Amino acid sequence: MKKIIFYSLLMVFLSCSKDEIPTDLTQSTENFTIEETIENKSNRAILATDTFLKPSGGNTGLWFKGGTNVVLDSQGKVITGSLRTYKLLRPLGATSSVWFMGGKPTTFQNGQVKIGTLRLNSLLRYFGSGSGIWFKKWTVVIFQSGKVKTGTLERKTLLRPAGASRSIWYNAGTVVTFNSNGEVL
């Protein structure tokens, strides 16, 4: 019965910002309000309170922060949402876990993090390479095949630009995207 009520309310509405939602709805016993988006057949919601939900493709639930937006798949699992607090999670395709920030949007695929904000400076492997480099805390990283596809360098780093014959130094704070050969695009 709870699932029927949950999914019924899930499909109700949300085409307005949090400030535009009537107070009688945000004070209800339900945790969020919903809108179905036509373009991608997913649902957007604003969580009224901290809510325990499963990430898209995952079987284990996580706490998501109240007052923040979430995008849900057709099964009511979170595609993108803000974690309630920092959390140690596995990046998409990776074999080890990474600390991600709470309160920042995190995107999930197959129950793992596809896009997230690093909580700490992190030594991670980058796409197209077996080597690790340092990525900056509090910045967004995008993962592909268990490695960083796009991220912000934590320190000055020697990398090879795409099509170049030799590596060059990239400054700390530079956002880099890697091709399948581990070269910077």
Q: Report the pLDDT value the prediction gives residue 150, as an integer from 0 to 100.
A: 97
DSSP string of 87-99? EEEPBTT-SS-EE
For 164-173, what is each residue's pLDDT tens digit?
A: 999 999 999 9
Stated as kind and residue range, the H or E segment containing 150 is: strand 147-152
End-to-end CA distance of the chain: 51
Write the DSSP symbol of residue 20.
G
For 136-175, what is each residue's pLDDT tens digit?
A: 999 999 999 999 999 999 999 999 999 999 999 999 999 9
Token pair recorded at residue 147: 């490695």
| Residue 41 pLDDT greater than 60, yes or no | no
9-14 — which CB contacts under 8 Å span 24+ positions?
Answer: 9/33, 9/34, 10/34, 10/43, 10/45, 10/72, 10/76, 11/36, 11/43, 14/44, 14/45, 14/46
Q: Report the pLDDT value the prediction gives residue 95, as an integer from 0 to 100.
A: 87
